[in-house]
Amino acid sequence: MQLVIFVLYFLVIFAIGWYSLRRTKDESDYWIAGGKLGWLVGGSTMAATHTSAGTFIGTIGVIYTVGWSFGWVVLSIPLAYWFMVAFLAPRFTKVKQLTLPAFIEARYESKTARAVAASIILIATVVYIQAQIIAGGLVANIVFGIPAMTGMVVFTIILLIYTVVGGMIAVVYTDFLQLIIMFIGAVISVPLAIRHFDSLGNLLHYVEAIKPTTFTWDGMPATLLFTLGLAFFLGSVSTPEKVTRLYAMRNMKTIRRAILLTILVVTIINLLVFILGLSGMVLFPTLPSGDLAMPIIAKAVLPTFIGTLMLAAITSAMMSTVDSLLLVAGSALSEDIYSSLIKPRASKKERLKVARLGIFIVGVIPLILIISGIGEGELIQFIVVLFSALMASGFFVPVVIGVWWRGASKQGAIAAMIGGVSSAMLWKALGPSSIDPVLPGFGVALILFFVISVLTKRPSDEALSRYFD
């Protein structure tokens, strides 16, 4: 039955990709779905993009390992989406662009700044996709008994096919389907898991008996918890796969409704995921890795059909995020590097060919890194958080502050992006693990942005008037 359900699921995904190919008429359709999404599909694709392997495998894995204290970090996410719709979207969407780096060029009148932004996206996307591919291998190993590496390869191939073919239209409609599967899977699975303990109160009692530190603040250093929350907040506001969703929606009224839907769905799913993490702690207290908790619950605890639905939900969570990132990476290579710097007169057909090639390359590189042993053994959620830290360090300052401060210059934006990302990566490699890299990355970006902007000339009034007048 499991094989049949997964085969049917993937056939539907491919059908959506083919349908989307027929509806894709130009680059606007391919990159931002023509900018015509309504609030239901727009909010669903935003929520689905947010809900990844970091949610269904990573968050459960961290709670399984360190306890409930990690749960407060997720409270920063609804606040981040409120901030996005209240402070960023009204000015950011005044002029619709196809990509985030295209906004950077328009705001700062600098092709160099656009190229820097595109390069950061390509580097960080590889980091994030790596976590999702690892999760795909775990699910395939537990469900079908195939080697994890084989599962990673198959997972990558499926993602590449429908993303390359259908573009943003394929992504948003598969996201809509995947969000429904995720939500139903989580809502059904939690009561069935609690049934093994008779009540939620009994589950909490068993958890405290097995691991007394679960409901304390001792699982992680306080500095790490605070900076992880900062990474989720800043990253949720400024990651390119999310902000380009703002361009894909019709208007601000649509965006407000869509973000409200996103906040409600993401919050409910996260609360349900916390309960599943605690259930795994009691049912399987000696797992070698917390990342195995959710797949094993779905396989061994839930009824066959529901367990398969839950595993499909996990797969949906991974796919709904990776396809968005692949699309962003393809646009960075095609629109922001190739057609902006290398061959400005490239035809639309040629740019789409480069985009599809870029999507393929960015999808394959993480798989090669995994095969080489890079990133192996690290909890999936911490790979996800590193991506958020890099995005926050590179883009929050020039994007969010850039639409509120006229004095921001192209030199300040370039320095903030390069300095912020470099500082975050250096901290990840050499700094103490008790502080997330987002703190030094964001701090350096903020200082460089203001200091260098004050010392250099701001863009022309014509460029600024698009966002400020």
Give pLDDT tens digits along the chain (469 positions).
666 766 776 677 667 666 655 565 655 655 556 567 889 888 888 887 777 666 777 777 788 888 777 777 777 888 999 999 999 999 998 888 878 999 999 999 999 999 999 999 888 887 777 777 777 777 777 767 778 788 788 777 776 765 665 555 666 677 777 778 778 878 888 888 888 888 888 988 998 888 888 888 777 888 888 898 898 899 889 888 888 888 888 899 999 999 999 999 988 888 888 888 888 888 888 887 776 777 777 777 777 777 776 677 667 666 666 666 777 777 787 778 887 778 877 777 787 778 778 778 877 887 787 777 665 555 566 677 788 889 999 999 999 999 999 999 999 999 999 999 999 999 988 989 889 999 999 999 999 999 999 999 999 998 898 888 7
User: What is the per-residue pLDDT for 50?
Assistant: 77
Q: By the 8 A CB rule, do 271 and 187 touch?
A: no
User: What is the per-residue pLDDT for 373?
Assistant: 67
User: What is the per-residue pLDDT for 133?
Assistant: 77
Nearest to 288 by CA among 61, 131, 54: 61
Q: What is the pTM of this model?
A: 0.82
User: What is the per-residue pLDDT for 328?
Assistant: 76
User: What is the per-residue pLDDT for 451?
Assistant: 97
b/e 339-372 (16+ beta carbons within 10 angstroms → b)? bbeeeeebeeeebbebbbebbbebbbbbbebbee
Q: Output the CATH code of domain 2-391.
A: 1.20.1730.10
Q: By the 8 A CB rule, do 381 and 60 touch?
A: no
Strand partners, 249: 37
User: What is the per-residue pLDDT for 20?
Assistant: 59
- Cα gap 188→200, rounded to integer Å: 15
User: What is the per-residue pLDDT for 335?
Assistant: 78
Q: Which residues have C-beta within 8 Å of that of residue 240, sequence separation ≥ 6? A: 99, 100, 121, 328, 332, 391, 395
Assign residue 211 a region: left if phi > 0, alpha if psi is -120 to 50, beta otherwise?
A: beta
User: What is the per-residue pLDDT for 162?
Assistant: 57
User: What is the per-residue pLDDT for 360?
Assistant: 80
Sign of CA dihedral 19, 36, 33, 172: negative
Domain ranges across the chain: 2-391
- Cα gap 170→166, rounded to integer Å: 5
Amino acid identity of 98? Answer: L
